[in-house]
Amino acid sequence: MEKEGTSQNHTHIIVFPFPIQGHINPILQFAKRLISKGIQVTLLTTNSTIKSMQPNFSTSIKIDIISEPDPFLPPSAAAIDVYIDHFKAALPSSLTTVIEKNHSLGNCTKLLVYDSVMPWCLGTARELGLEGAPFITLSCTFTTIFNHVFEGKLKVPLQEPTVLLPGTGIPRLGLHDMPSFISNPTLYASLLKILVEQVSNFQQLKWIFCNSFDKLEEEVVNWITSQWPFKNVGPTIPSMYLDKRMNNDKDYGLSLFQPNSESCMKWLDSKEIGSVIYISFGSLATLVEEQMEEIALALKKSNYYFLWVVRESEINKLPQNFVQDTATKGLLVNWCPQLEVLNHKGVACFMTHCGWNSTLEALSLGVPMVAMPQWTDQPTNAKFIVDVWKVGIRARIDHEKGIVTREEIEMCIREVMEGERGNEMRRISLKWKKLAKEAVDDNGSSDKNIEKFVAQLISS
């Protein structure tokens, strides 16, 4: 069995995620696996990230600070350029400080694992004598699509109503299956540029880490590993949820928001097995008021128990009296311990925005989904959830109204909760749960990738 924090030879690395929930968490989970294999790790992040981390860290990961933009802006998609410009200027001195600190402790800093949305980190790392390796917090499929844009093999705006990328294993994608940056390139121009650039230096890399697992995107993985030194190391879910014993897992189910853990879990405990719908749209997506109303009314009409995460910034979009009217059926929280919720026997269905972390978490914990993608990679994840992994149903937008109607949502809920297709999804979900666990277990595909990398790093 692995022992946390066993230092083999003072090999030290720095991990540097973009400071948003969906990026910090998987990179930290990866760091934790490295620590369990004897590598020392420093997380480089901002002061506000550290202040909002729930729970506070108490284990063997070290933390160091990189400054945040002044005037301060919360990190978000809209502020990404501001952060990136600031980090570009601040990174050399922050890295130097961490390297020197570790040198004085007798550690040898060898590598910077950086968030793939900041590919310029490679140059900074190498100038300071470190190797650099990106960590991709999205799927292999998403990366493959953006590589095709980078190489000019996929033109944006799209020339055809559907796209096939031959040889990659990605099924034919319609406009609504495409990442939003491609289906709607003018709305997200700066993000499109960042995502295309992330593949720009792949040819120069020794390792590229991705939060996926080989069996999940098998054909795409075959293609991508034939191009670059791509290593799937996921799903980076705390091992306590995947039955693999490691110490101090609890410390790493990191959240930047305060979860209403006790009330959620107590409420769930009082419900029957397989009786609850869990709804969350992640940490960033904002829904229009009309959409919130349709969801609310569909939940009310379906008459199932529901646990709905509505972030504080979204709460005033709910219909009047909704909370009072559904008090016996539903629980609304600002944030919940999602992994614990998905792992709870009461939960039978996850209505999700299909963020990559949420998608992996539902797959790994065997929960069928109602897919309601909003933007970025979510439409592509939804396509895979429904047509490739067959563990969900997609709630289709009414194009006249520009939202998903209450009738459509209710139909999807019923399909998962009571339909024949729902039973089939539940059966298939168990297969993915098993494969996810196998990938991270000893000698699983992701575990072997990590082992091999650690051996190479230590001997370098």
Chain residues binding ligand UDP by CB under 6 A are 21-22, 25, 255, 259, 280, 282-285, 309, 335-336, 338-339, 355-358, 361
The two most distant CA atoms of the chain are separated, in Å, by 64
Q: Residue 458 corresponds to which amino acid?
A: I
CA angle, 78 then 145 then 74, to 5°:
15
In angstroms, what is the minimal distance from the CB of 287 to ligand UDP?
Answer: 12
> 304 in the Ramachandran plot: left (φ > 0), alpha (ψ -120 to 50) or beta?
beta
Q: Residue 406 corresponds to which amino acid?
A: R
Phi, psi of 25 (to 5 degrees): -60, -55
Q: In the numeric block, which tokens belong to residue 35?
A: 């620590």
In angstroms, what is the minimal distance from the CB of 45 to ligand UDP?
Answer: 16
DSSP, res 394: E
Q: In the numeric block, which tokens belong to residue 287?
A: 């829904």
- Give the number of other CB atoms < 10 A from CB of residue 171: 14
In angstroms, what is the minimal distance from the CB of 311 to ligand UDP?
Answer: 8
The span from the CA of 199 to the CA of 197, in Å, is 5
Of the candidates 394, 385, 393, the one whose C-alpha atom is nearest the C-alpha of residue 432 is 385
Helix (H, G, I), strand (E, B) or coil at 54: strand
In angstroms, what is the minimal distance from the CB of 208 to ligand UDP?
Answer: 19
SS3 content of the chain, % helix, strand, coil (to 5): 45, 15, 40
CB of 306 or CB of 335, closer to ligand UDP: 335
CB of 285 or CB of 412, closer to ligand UDP: 285
> 376 in the Ramachandran plot: left (φ > 0), alpha (ψ -120 to 50) or beta?
left
Q: Which residues 6+ apart lie within 8 Å of 369 measured at CB?
A: 349, 350, 351, 352, 354, 359, 362, 385, 391, 392, 393, 416
CB of 280 or CB of 380, closer to ligand UDP: 280
Of the candidates 361, 305, 371, the one whose C-alpha atom is nearest the C-alpha of residue 332 is 305
In angstroms, what is the minimal distance from the CB of 95 to ligand UDP?
Answer: 26
The span from the CA of 459 to the CA of 18, in Å, is 29
CB of 374 or CB of 445, closer to ligand UDP: 374
CB of 283 or CB of 405, closer to ligand UDP: 283
In angstroms, what is the minimal distance from the CB of 99 to ligand UDP?
Answer: 30
In angstroms, what is the minimal distance from the CB of 234 to ligand UDP?
Answer: 12
User: Of 12, 23, 86, 344, which is the active-site residue?
Assistant: 23
CB of 119 or CB of 234, closer to ligand UDP: 234
Rg (CA), the chain: 22
Active site residue 10: no
- Whether the Cβ atoms of residue 209 and residue 133 lie closer than 8 Å to each other: yes
In angstroms, what is the minimal distance from the CB of 391 to ligand UDP?
Answer: 15
CB of 114 or CB of 453, closer to ligand UDP: 114
CB of 282 or CB of 444, closer to ligand UDP: 282
Q: In the numeric block, which tokens belong to residue 11?
A: 């090999």
In angstroms, what is the minimal distance from the CB of 372 to ligand UDP?
Answer: 12
CB of 202 or CB of 350, closer to ligand UDP: 350
Q: How far apart are the first and last CA of the chain?
A: 25
The span from the CA of 353 to the CA of 364, in Å, is 17
User: Of 115, 249, 377, 447, which is the active-site residue?
Assistant: 115
DSSP, res 398: B
Q: Which residues 6+ apart lie within 8 Å of 455 measured at CB?
A: none
Active site residue 86: no
Q: Which residues 6+ apart lie within 8 Å of 215 measured at CB?
A: 435, 438, 439, 445
Catalytic positions: 23, 115
